[in-house]
Amino acid sequence: MTDSAPHPLVYFFGQGRADGTAAMKDVLGGKGAGLAEMTNLGIPVPPGFTIAASLCSTYLETGGFPPRLRPQLEAALGRLEAATGRQFGGTVEPLLVSVRSGAAVSMPGMMETILNLGLNDTTVEALHRLSGNASFAYDSYRRFVQMYGGVVFDLAKRPFDEALDRRKKAAGAARDIDLPWEALRDLTGEFKEIIHKETGKNFPDDPMQQLWGAVAAVFESWNTRRAADYRRHHDIPDSMGTAVNIVAMVYGNMGEDSGTGVAFTRDPSTGERVLYGEYLLNAQGEDVVSGIRTPEPISRLRERMPEAYADLERVSRTLERHFRDVQDLEFTIERGHLYMLQTRRAQRSGHAAVRCAVEMVDEGQISEEEAVARIPPNDLNQLLHPTIDPKAQPDLVATGLPASPGAASGAAVFDADSAEARGKKGEAVILVRRETSPEDFHGMVLAKAILTARGGMTSHAAVVARGMGKPCVAGAHEIEVDEEARLLTVNGRRIAEGEIITLDGSTGRVFAGPVKLIPPELSGHYSRLMGWADGMRHLRVRVNADTPADAHRGRDFGAEGIGLCRTEHMFFEGERISAMREMILASDEAGRKRALAKLLPMQRTDFEGIFRAMEGYPVTIRLLDPPLHEFLPKEKEEIRALADEMGKSIEDVERTISRLSEVNPMLGLRGCRLGIMYPEITAMQARAIFEAACTVAARKGRVQPEVMIPLVAHVVEFRKQALIVRQVAEEVFRERQITVPYLLGTMIELPRAALTADEIAREAQFFSFGTNDLTQTTWGLSRDDAGVFLPDYLERNIIEFDPFIELDIGGVGKLIAMAVELGRHARQDLKVGICGEHGGEPGAVAFCEAQKMNYVSCSPFRVPIARLAAAQAALAERGTMNRTRATV
């Protein structure tokens, strides 16, 4: 065949040889490639052929098959007849086939399968004579008609199941296989009547018509709702399409010496090196996964069929060694003989993934680099947070966004004060709010988890919960939260305060009542894997931490510094919020300074604790960022209490709140603009930072403070704030008779800052990209309001992903790349990092590696994920460039 000749549309496998190989997944799909490879390895596989995946999109676009498919399919069918010695549609030894989907990426259960195709009223009699088993023949026939009705005619299962149940009841049969053959024959006729009644069409008796109908149905199943949802969730492109595998039937339902099952070469939950799975005697493959009958553990097969079990063990070892990975196997035993129907990379839990990778290194099957490269970074979430017991059957009441991973059960409470009070008593509580604000922080600290009816993946609740490692479900639009009545309502169901609910922040599910949880466990396997990863990566990984407790947690997870310390979170508790409000309500600079003098020692103590926790690693402290109105109360009673506390009239307080309120506070008086309008705030914070640094340094501690000026749009803004910081630093160093090296930089979170990065870099020593606000300002999109329409945008394929969850490399990424290039052109030793919520997202980490950044920073529980993602990004680029980096 010349290079210009068209590629084949059909690939045959059988009798120890195959047209394809495991490397042809894009052409044959995963199932077809696996069947071809097993055939080439000499493993017992029933013969068959695969229709190329490229035809899926052709069929879906045109509604038909290309003319050259028919002769290739008929030729392959002829080869299959020759390989089996049977005839398709034959009346003596009929050839029956299965028709199965198989995309390049495994999509278990998402698309369609048909078994026993080729049966009709004539061939079933031939099958009866050939097998000598009428029950087997008619059981196969009724299964085929039922599956064909569901898959090709798109009929619901219910009328078929009801007819089957009636027959079993009439015959006194407990199981399908206990029905007499006459009942199975009559049931098949009833199934055909159901098809005709529901569709007005007759069931096709012609095997070739059956086959073309099945192939079309498998292609069409690519666009079912469940398949499309699965692809979107797993980032599988719609253009991939599915191949179709047509395989000679082998029968697990021929009697007690036959069976079918699913096996894994290692336990997919724990990673233990043991053959794991389930099987059923006298059954066909779909029975195992459909739940019609309860399968038995694979270990019992050793007792029932020792020879078949020994063959299965031998094949499983061969396949794992060959593919150098844990395999998920499907098999059928026909009258004692083993046939393999599928091998694919096994899906597994995070615990199992880590254990299998490390132990396969010890066994010499893979290298340390391969072990690091094959673990999906987000799978580490399962090792770091409690998870729902997979054996539990909880009462699902609502689904929202999986905003922060982990699971928790607790009493529903509807305000932060109640959460704090009950939490302090040791009670497990879940804070339920329409949406959270910074004022809820004290309740969020003591809640086990947070549930909100509004907001998205980067809402206040989500960001704070991730920072604290607490489960959070956000934007659960099905629920109505009545905070005054202390009531949660969902689809007419009421859950009152104090009733137990359970959240799964990894999936976004909300359950009524308590659910059994599995605690997190960090094994020795995990430590070894992460040690290898740390030795392979270039990027440093820091933590976003606002308290000494967060800093210690980050260090425990391997953080190498703090990339974002948000000073405003220190102001929302007890005496601090009172002093902050006093500063805001002050009528002149002198009053503001008196209030700030109360805040100074509090901030200094916080910074000392953080510096000590970081043990000499760099600590990037962002000066005050949010607008002042966020520190003021909203409810009438709270305003009255504040007025009494400050000795002011309610009217004065309300006027101040009104004056500070903004139409669009996200783009208003906040960040460095606050420091320019009220320079005494910047001075107080700078003094707290440097006094704390000097205190720790004087006690033989190591400190590396990095002061970050937020929301800079113009270099002059940075220059004015930097001047205050440097003046205060010199004053403190003179007073303390000690000098502490520090860096002064800015957060790049506005498009203008990115576009003028060269100007800013001549003044700033480091850039930290705040991708949350940079995404908002680049897209012109509020992350708190995006939940109203962004899901529809995703559903309609207007955009392919949520830019607040995945970094928008094509848009925001271009600004970041431009800013890095401009900044380093102006200052060669410019340190560059990222500290937004994207800092722990594997795709964003890979982007940062490509931009030769120095570090990424993320919430504490994302640190291990970022460490692993950074190692994988380095491995992906290994050998392509030699580079040096500025010190971290």
Q: pLDDT digit string (tens) for 657-670?
A: 888 787 777 888 89
Residues 99-109 have a mean pLDDT of 85
What tokens were used for 672?
A: 């460095």
Within-domain flag for 884: no
Q: pLDDT digit string (tens) for 805-842?
A: 899 999 999 999 999 999 999 999 999 999 988 999 99
439 versus 53: which is more confidently predicted? 53
Q: How confident is the model at residue 238 (pLDDT cuts 50, 70, 90)?
A: confident
Q: How far is CA 725 from CA 363, 454, 693, 766, 850, in A?
A: 57, 39, 14, 15, 33
**Least confident among 69-73, 247-251, 558-562, 697-701:** 697-701
The number of residues making up the chain comes to 888
Instruction: Please calculate the CA angle 882-887-888 and round it to the nearest 5 degrees.
Output: 115
Residues 702 and 800 in one domain: yes
Residues 198 and 219 in one domain: no
pLDDT at res. 3? 45
**Least confident among 15-29, 186-200, 245-259, 652-666:** 652-666
Positions marked active-site: 460, 835
Q: pLDDT digit string (tens) for 553-608?
A: 999 999 999 999 998 877 777 678 888 888 888 888 898 899 899 999 999 999 99
Residues 158 and 215 in one domain: no
Residues 295 and 307 in one domain: yes
Q: How confident is the model at residue 374 (pLDDT cuts 50, 70, 90)?
A: very high
pLDDT at res. 883? 36
643 versus 167: which is more confidently predicted? 167
**Least confident among 55-64, 348-357, 586-595, 873-882:** 873-882
Q: Specify the CATH number for the domain of residue 255.
A: 3.30.470.20
Give the separation between CA 506 and CA 382, rounded to whole angstroms.
9
Q: How confident is the model at residue 1 (pLDDT cuts 50, 70, 90)?
A: very low
Last residue of a domain, one of 216, 249, 282: 249
In the predicted model, is pLDDT for residue 619 greater than 50? yes
Residues 309 and 322 in one domain: yes
Q: Specify the CATH number for the domain of residue 58.
A: 3.30.1490.20
pLDDT at res. 326? 96
Within-domain flag for 224: yes
Q: Is the whole model's pTM more than 0.85, yes or no?
A: no
pLDDT at res. 18? 96
Give the separation between CA 420 and CA 424, rounded to whole angstroms.
6
Q: Are strands 94-95 and 87-88 parallel, antiparallel or unpaired?
A: parallel
Q: pLDDT digit string (tens) for 195-204?
A: 999 999 999 9
Q: pLDDT digit string (tens) for 467-482?
A: 777 899 988 989 999 9
Average pLDDT over the chain, rounded to whole? 91
Q: Where are the alpha helices (DSSP H) in 6-110?
A: 25-40, 54-62, 69-84
Q: How confident is the model at residue 646 (pLDDT cuts 50, 70, 90)?
A: confident
Residues 350-366 have a mean pLDDT of 94
Q: pLDDT digit string (tens) for 849-868?
A: 999 999 999 999 899 999 99
Q: Specify the CATH number for the domain of residue 800.
A: 3.20.20.60
In the predicted model, is pLDDT for residue 428 greater than 70? yes
pLDDT at res. 844? 97
Q: pLDDT digit string (tens) for 699-758?
A: 988 999 999 999 999 999 999 999 999 999 999 999 999 999 999 999 999 999 999 999
Question: Residue 33 in contact with residue 343, Cβ under 8 Å?
Answer: no
pLDDT at res. 882? 37
Within-domain flag for 405: yes
- Give me the domain span that covers residue 227: 8-120+206-249
In the predicted model, is pLDDT for residue 876 greater than 90? yes
Number of Cβ within 10 Å of residue 6's Cβ equals 8
Q: Where are the alpha helices (DSSP H) in 41-118?
A: 54-62, 69-84
Residues 81 and 20 in one domain: yes
Q: Specify the CATH number for the domain of residue 475.
A: 3.50.30.10
Within-domain flag for 861: yes
Residues 336 and 289 in one domain: yes
**Least confident among 31-40, 96-105, 399-408, 679-688:** 399-408
Residues 301 and 323 in one domain: yes
Give the separation between CA 709 and CA 768, rounded to whole angstroms.
10
Q: Please give the tally of structural domains in the chain.
A: 6
Q: Which long-range contacts (CB under 8 A, 24 or more apart) does 185-191 make?
A: 185/138, 185/141, 187/142, 187/163, 188/138, 188/141, 188/142, 188/145, 190/163, 191/142, 191/145, 191/146, 191/149, 191/160, 191/163
Within-domain flag for 362: no
pLDDT at res. 558? 95
In the predicted model, is pLDDT for residue 887 greater than 60? no
In the predicted model, is pLDDT for residue 289 greater than 70? no
Residues 232-260 have a mean pLDDT of 89
Residues 759 and 847 in one domain: yes
Number of Cβ within 10 Å of residue 241's Cβ equals 22
Within-domain flag for 402: yes
| Torsion angle of the four alpha carbons 237, 243, 249, 255, in this order, in degrees rounded to the nearest 10 | 0
Q: How confident is the model at residue 459 (pLDDT cuts 50, 70, 90)?
A: low
Q: Are strands 831-834 and 766-769 parallel, antiparallel or unpaired?
A: parallel
| Torsion angle of the four alpha carbons 584, 588, 591, 597, in this order, in degrees rounded to the nearest 10 | 70
Residues 274 and 406 in one domain: no
Q: How confident is the model at residue 885 (pLDDT cuts 50, 70, 90)?
A: very low
In the predicted model, is pLDDT for residue 23 greater than 90? yes
Within-domain flag for 408: yes
Share of the chain above pLDDT 70, in %: 96
Residues 720 and 770 in one domain: yes
Residues 630-644 have a mean pLDDT of 82
Q: How confident is the model at residue 884 (pLDDT cuts 50, 70, 90)?
A: very low
Residues 20 and 72 in one domain: yes
| Pick from 342, 330, 318, 247: nearest CA to 30 | 342
Within-domain flag for 787: yes
